[in-house]
Amino acid sequence: MNQKYVMALVDDDAFCIRADGMNVASFIKEYGELEDIAIMTMHRYPLLNTRGGFVDRCFDQEYLAKQLLPCLIPIQQEQIPPAEIDYLKSWDLLPENAAPVPDWDCDKGHGIWNLDIPKPDHEWSAAEEWPEEENMEDEGIEP
């Protein structure tokens, strides 16, 4: 997998975490027993999801087999402790090219959607402009 960071969604909370196998495995161990997790790219393409602390679907099978499971299985079997999770603490700390176009088949519906979805044609960057939150008062709407 060519992603440096991924988004991990747990219940209503979103985290940006380093995408290496040990970090993702430690995140799954930390949060997965309490809630289901969805992990996706910064482009919002699904990478994997969990149910009850176990991987349910993973759309990058090479990442699953070579990076994630070699770390996750020993952690789940308590052979090794989980590592301290590396969270992105500020968008300013995001490295250059942290979210390139995914190198796996991310543009297929994989049973989630009925149609193929367009694959991104550009890299995501922290320098991209985020839409400003609309101020309800400016629109004449009382909060």
**What pLDDT is stored for residue 46 in this prediction?**
86
**What pLDDT is stored for residue 110 in this prediction?**
53
**What pLDDT is stored for residue 121 in this prediction?**
53
* Gap between the terminal Cα atoms of the chain: 44
Task: Say how far residue 43 (Cα) sits from the centre of its chain.
Answer: 10
**What pLDDT is stored for residue 122 in this prediction?**
52
**What pLDDT is stored for residue 87 in this prediction?**
92
Q: Are strands 54-58 and 46-51 parallel, antiparallel or unpaired?
A: antiparallel
**What pLDDT is stored for residue 100 in this prediction?**
75
C-alpha span between 140 and 77 (Å, rounded): 57
pTM of the model: 0.74
**What pLDDT is stored for residue 42 in this prediction?**
84
What does pLDDT average to in each consecutive run of 10 residues of the chain (143 residues)? 90 91 97 90 88 91 95 97 92 74 67 52 49 48 48
